[in-house]
Amino acid sequence: MSFTFRLMLRDLRSGDLLTLLLALVISVSTVTSIGLFIDRLQLSFEQESANLLAADRLVRSDDELPDEWKVKAEALSLRYAERISFTTMMFADNSLQLSQLSAVTEGYPLKGAYLVDDTLFGTGQSSTEAPQPGEIWVSSRLASLLNVQIGNQVDVGDATFTVTKYLVRDPGSSTSAFAISPRAVMNMADLAATNVIIPGSRVRYSLLLAGERAALSEYEDWITPQLNEGQRWQTPTQRGERIGDTIGRAESFLLLAGTLAVIMSGVAMALASARFVKRHLMQVAILKTLGATPKLLGKVFFQQLFTLFLAGALIGLGIGWAIQELIASILSGLMSTALPEPSVSRLWLGVATGAISMLVFCLPLMSHLIKISPLSVLQPNAKVELNTVFIYVIGFMGMYGLMCVYTNGFLLPSIMTAAISAIALFVAGIGWMAFKLGRSLTSGATSGWQIGLASLYRRLVPNLFQLLVFTLIIMLTLILIGVKSNLIADWQQQLPEDAPNHYLFNVQAEQIESINDATDALNVPRSDWYPMVRGRVIEANGESVEALYPEERGEPELYERELNLTWSDSIGKGNELVAGDFSANGLSVEQKAAQEAKLSLGDELTINIGGNIITLPITSIRTVDWGSMQPNFYLMLPKSALEDYPANFVSSLFIDETAAQPFYKAMSQFPTVSILNVGDILKQIQSIIGQLSKAIQLVLFCILSAGALVLLASVRSTLEERLEEGALLRVLGAKSALVRQALLVEFGALGFFAGIIAALGAEACLFGLQVFVFNSQASVHPLLWVLGPVIGVCVISTIGIFASRTVLKVPPMLLLRGL
Amino acid sequence: MASNTAIKVSNLTHTVTSNTGDLTILKGINMEIKESESVAIVGSSGSGKSTLLGLLAGLDVNTSGEVFLYDQAFSGQSEERRALIRGEYVGFVFQSFHLLPSLQAIENVMLPAELKGDKEARKKAEVLLEKVGLSHRLTHYPNQLSGGEQQRVAIARAFASNPKILFADEPTGNLDEENGKLIIKLLFELNQSQGTTLVMVTHDNELAKMCDRQLVMSAGQLTEKSL
C-alpha cells in the first residue's frame, strides 16, 4: 500500500477525514435523492397530465396536418395518432342533433383511456382502443337526444354507423372542455365516406405524439419554427391552464427545495474542509520538518481528496438512490399510479455537487495547507496567511454556478444569493449587539448562565458565523413550512371537495323551475342561474378594436372573441369587488381581463349584441376565482341593458356518484339542455394535487434532515475550543452540571437569536412570495414566531450538547492532553 | 569546507518585518560545527536562538549569508529542495513533542522512513521504540502517553531516518526533572552510538554543559562560551 493510502487510513481512523467524507456523502446523497425524486414526480405529473391530453405532446392545427409532420415523428421513433374534431349534425330515424364528433386513428388514445359503458348513463369501464370502422360511440346524452340504443344506426353525412358503446369520457376532451355539444367518436377510416368535411368547415386537426423525452423535445425544436397562426404545440403541463399552474408551482417549490439542498451541502463541505485544514496545519508542518516535500504533500493530498471523492460520491449516490426509493415506496400507497423509474442520467447532479464542492472548498484550502511554513513547529505564529476572501469567493462562485445549472437559470440563484447576503449582514449586526449586551450583563462570570452568555462574545466571529448558519437553516425551514401550508391551502381552496362538477347550458327561462325541482328532489347542490347573452366588444373609449389591434395579434381576451355576457343583482360567489360600485349602472370587468386590455374605472366599452350597439362605462372591477367551478364571466352588464334580449341560462352543480344516474335520467326530459361533465377532469386534478402535497411534505422532511446534519457539522467545527474551555473549567473545579449549564445557555441563546431572526426573515420572504408569486393575500404567520425560537432553542441545544458530550464525560486530563 | 564539517554558516543575517518596521534578529553570524559534535545554543528568551535553529535546519529562508549542511547550500534553495536536504540529513526533537495526534506511537516513528519509501520502516521503528523503552506502548496514541513518553517517541522518530544532524529545541522544556534526565541520556546515547551531530537550543545550563561546545546568542550575535 502506498504512503498516501496508509496515511489516509490512519486519518480516517482519527475521524478527521471521516467528517469530510460524511459532509461529502450528505452533499451527494441529499442532492441525488431530491434530484431523482423530483425527476420521478415530474415524470409522474407528466404522465398523469398526459392522460388528460391523451398524448405526451400534441400539435393542433386548423388546417389539414402536413404529411411531413408524421414522417418526422416516424423518423424520431415517436408513436403518433391523429384526431379530427368537428361539429356536425347526426341523424337517427326521426331525430337529429348537433354533436361534437371526433374521428380518430388506430392507437388513439396514446395515453390514458376511454371510459365506455354498455348501459345508458353508466359510469364506464376503461378502454384503450378506439371504435372499429363502421362503429360509433355516442355519449348517453346524445343517445337520449337521438333516441337510439346500442345496436341502432345513426347517420353522419353520407355514411351510416352502428352505435356500439356509450361514451362516458374521451381522454383528450379536457382540451376542449367547453365544447358543449354532446359527443361522439368514430374511426378515422370512415371519415372520407361521410363527406362532411368540406373546404371551409370548422375543423380541428390534432397530431398526438408519444415517446422518449429527448425525441419529443427534438420534435418540438423542429416543429415550433414552422407553426403558423391557428397551429399550436401543446404539452401536458401547459402554463396558464389550471393544472399546468398547479404543477408549475409544485415544480418551483421542489426546485427551491433542491437548491436549498445544494446550498446546505456547500455549507457542510465548507465547514468540514475548514475543520480538516485547521487540524492538519501543524501536521503538515511536522511532515515538512521530516523531509516531506511540497510536491509529495501535494500528491498525497490530491490522491487523498480524489479517493475521498470517489468513495463519497459512490456512497452518496447509493444512499441518495436508497432514500428516494424509500420515499417513493412510502408514497406508493398514497399515489394513484406507480411512480415512473427515475432517469439514471439525473445522477450526474449529485456527483457534480460533490465534485464542485470539493473543488471550490477543499482544493483551495488544501493548496494553502501545503504552503504552510515548516517554521510553524518552532514558532506557532508563523502559520501561512490564509486568503479566506479568495477561498470564499471561489466557493461562492462554485455554489452559484451549481445553483444556476441546477435551476437552469440565473433568477432563483441570484435572488437567493442577494437574500442570503442581506441576511448575513443583518445577522452580523444584530448578533454583535446581542452578544455584546450578553457580555455586559454578565461581568464577573460565576454561574453557568453567565459563563454561557459571556462565551458568546468571547468567540465572537465563530459564533456570528454559527448564528448565520443556524438562522439560515431555521429560516429556510420556516419558509418551507409557510410555503407548504400556503400552497396546499391554496390548492384545497381552489378545489373544495364539493366543487361543482357539471355545468348546465342552453337552459331556457321557462325550464329553470322544472330543473330546480328535479335537482332538489335528488338533493343536488346547485349554483345560481346566470342568463347568458352573446356579444362582442367592438370599441374601447370610442376607438375601434380593429384600429387598436390592426394585425389581430396580441389582442386582449376581452376583444378577441364573442363573449358570454350576463347580469346579476349580486356580485356572485367566487367574485370579489376590488374597485368601483357593483350596483352602479355600468360594466363590471374581471380584473385580469381589464389589466390585459389596459382598462380602468370610467373607461367606456361599446358592445355589439345581436346587431344592437350599446356603450357603457366601466363602473366596477372584480376578481374572479376561476378555480371555483362556478359560472364566471369577464363582463357583467346592468340588468337594464340585457333583459330585453333572449337569454340562455347557465348553472353549475355538484353531482356525486350515487346521484349521477338518476340525474342523467331526470335530465333526459330536457333534451335541449347541454350538460358538461367536468368531474373526471377534476378527479384527476385532485389526485395530482394529493400526490403533490404528500411529496412536498416528504421533500421538506429530507431537507430538514440535511439541515440538522449541517448544524451538527457547524457545531463540531468549533468543538475544540469548547472542549478546551470545558476541560479547563472542570480542572478548575467546576462541576459537570455547571459546564453543562454553560454549554446549554450558549447554544440555547444562539438558537433563540437565530430563531427570532429567522422568523423575521421568513415572514418577510413569505410576504414577498404571497404577494408576488402566489397572488394571494399577505398575512402574518404567528406560528412562525413561536416555531422559530422553539426550534432554535430545542434543536440547537440538543445538537450542541450531543456534539459536546465528550466535554462532560471524558476526564479533563485526557481532553487537555489531546489538545 | 572540510569533509568533517557538518554545518557551516557564514555571515548569516535575518531580518523580519513587523508593524513597527524591520527588525534584524541575526546579525552576521559565522560558525562551523563538526561532524559528531554536540553543540548547545544558549541565551535569553527572544535572543534569536530558535530563529537560528530554524535557519540551520532550512525551515525558513535567511535574508543574507550562507548556510551549508554537508556542502549542500540551503540559501536560495526552493522549499522543495530544502525539504529533500532535510529528509536526507536532519532529525528534530521539539519542546512540545509535535507527534501527529492521529497516529499511534509506532506510526509516528515510521513516518520519516516511510517518506523515504523504506519498506523496513515498521521493523526499524519497533527497534527504536524498544531502545527508548517504549516497546509496550507501540499502538498507543499520543494523548494516551505521558509527556516523557511522548518525547521518547519523538526521539525515536528523530533517529528513524538515521539523520546526520539532530536539531533539538528545548527538548526537556516541558518535562519534569526525572523525565528530563532520561531524555538527555537517550539523546546523548544515540548521538554517540550513531555518530550524529547534535545541535540543541536550551535554557538548561546543566544540559548545555554536557555538550562539547556552548554557543551564546545575545542581541543577534553568536559567541563561543569558553568551557
* CA-wise closest residue to B85 among A287, A292, A375, A384: A292
Q: At what angle do helices A736-768 and A411-440 cross, to 10 degrees?
A: 140
Residue that the C-alpha cell 417549490 belongs to? A253
Task: With beta carbons less than 8 A apart as the criterion, state whether A238 and A55 touch.
Answer: no
CB atoms A6 and B101 under 8 Å: no
CB A515, CB A670: distance < 8 Å: yes
pLDDT reported for residue A36: 84
**Under an 8 A CB cutoff, do A378 and B53 touch?**
yes
To test the contact with chain A by mutation, choose from B80, B89, B94, B102 the residue with the greatest count of A C-beta atoms within 10 A, namely: B102
Helices first, then strands: H and E counts in chain B: 7, 10
**Pair type for strands A612-624 and A587-590:** parallel
Residue, of A392 and B182, whose pLDDT is higher: B182
Residue labelled with grid coordinates 422568523: A759
How far away is chain A from the Cα of B82, in angstroms, using its nearest Cα? 8
DSSP string, A781-814: -HHHHHHHHHHHHHHHHHHHHHHTHHHHHS-HHH
Q: What is the CATH number of domain B37-63+83-225?
A: 3.40.50.300
Name the closest residue on chain B to residue A379, using Cα atoms: B50
Q: Is the distance from CB of A457 to CB of A439 less than 8 angstroms?
A: yes
pLDDT of residue A176: 37
CB pairs under 8 A between A and B: 87
β-pairing, B90-93 vs B165-169, is: parallel
Beta-bridged to residue A590, according to DSSP, are A622
In which band, very low, low, confident or very high, does the pLDDT at B206 lie, cut at 50, 70 and 90?
A: confident
Kindly report, residue by residue over A244-276, the tens digit of the pLDDT.
Answer: 556 666 666 666 777 777 777 777 777 778 778
> Which residues of chain A make contact with B80, given a CB cutoff of 8 A?
293-295
Distance from the Cα of B8 to chain A's closest Cα (Å) equals: 20
Q: What is the pLDDT of residues B99-123, one digit of tens each?
A: 988 889 999 999 988 888 888 889 9
CA–CA min distance B166, chain A (Å): 11
What pLDDT, on a 0 to 100 scale, did the predictor assign at position A98? 79
Nearest CB to A291 within list B98, B112, B143: B112
- C-alpha pair distances (Å), A100 with each of A177, A184, A206, A561, A806: 11, 6, 15, 20, 77
Position B52, amino acid = L
Q: What cell was used for A166?
A: 356509450
From the list B79, B117, B142, which residue is nearest A294 (CB)?
A: B79
DSSP, res A566:
B
Nearest beta carbon to residue B59 from set A3, A6, A289: A289
Find, in chain B, the residue whose alpha carbon is nearest to that of A818.
Answer: B143
Closest CA to A492 of A654, A679, A689, A629: A689
Please report the pLDDT score of residue B2 as a whole number.
44
Pairing of strands A612-624, A604-609: antiparallel
How would you class B21 by CB atoms within 10 Å of its CB: exposed for 0-12, middle for 13-18, buried for 19 or more?
exposed
In contact, A580 and A648? CB cutoff 8 Å: no
Nearest to B61 by CA among B85, B88, B82: B82
Q: Which of B80, B92, B114 sits opposite A289 (nearest CB)?
A: B92
Residue A394 makes CB contacts below 8 A (sequence gap 6+) with A360, A364
pLDDT the model gives residue B165: 93
pLDDT at B176 over 60: yes
**Does pLDDT of B71 surpass 90?**
no
Q: What is the mean pLDDT of residues B37-60?
A: 89
For chain A, domain boundaries? 1-47+242-409, 61-235, 420-499+678-819, 526-653
Length of chain B: 227
- Return the higher-pLDDT residue of A272 and B69: B69
Residue A13 with chain B: CB contacts under 8 Å: 102
ipTM of the modeled complex: 0.90
Name residues of chain A where pLDDT drops below 70.
1, 45, 48, 172-181, 200-201, 237-255, 330-338, 380-388, 442-446, 484-498, 550-554, 626-629, 671-672, 679-693, 695-696, 717, 720, 772-777, 806-819
Q: Could you say which of A16, A379, A817 has the minimum Cβ distance to residue B143?
A: A817
Predicted local confidence at residue B126, as pLDDT: 94
The pLDDT of residue A422 is 85
First to last CA, chain A: 30
Supply the pLDDT for residue A554: 61
Whether residue A290 and residue B57 make contact (CB cut-off 8 A), yes or no, is no
DSSP tag of A602: T
In this prediction, residue A494 carries a pLDDT of 53
pLDDT for the residue B31: 93
Q: Compute the distance between CA of residue A282 and CA of residue A292 in angstroms, rounded to an integer.
A: 13
Instruction: Output the pLDDT for position A179.
Output: 44
Q: Between chains, do A379 and B54 touch, taking CB under 8 Å as contact? A: yes
Query: Residues in chain A whose beta carbon is closer than 8 A to a beta carbon of chain B?
Result: 3, 6, 10-11, 13-14, 16, 282-283, 286-296, 373-375, 377-379, 382, 814, 817-818
CA proximity to A352, closest of A262, A435, A239: A262
Identify each DSSP E strand in B19-101 by its residue range.
21-34, 38-42, 64-69, 72-73, 90-93
CA A181 and chain centroid, separation: 35
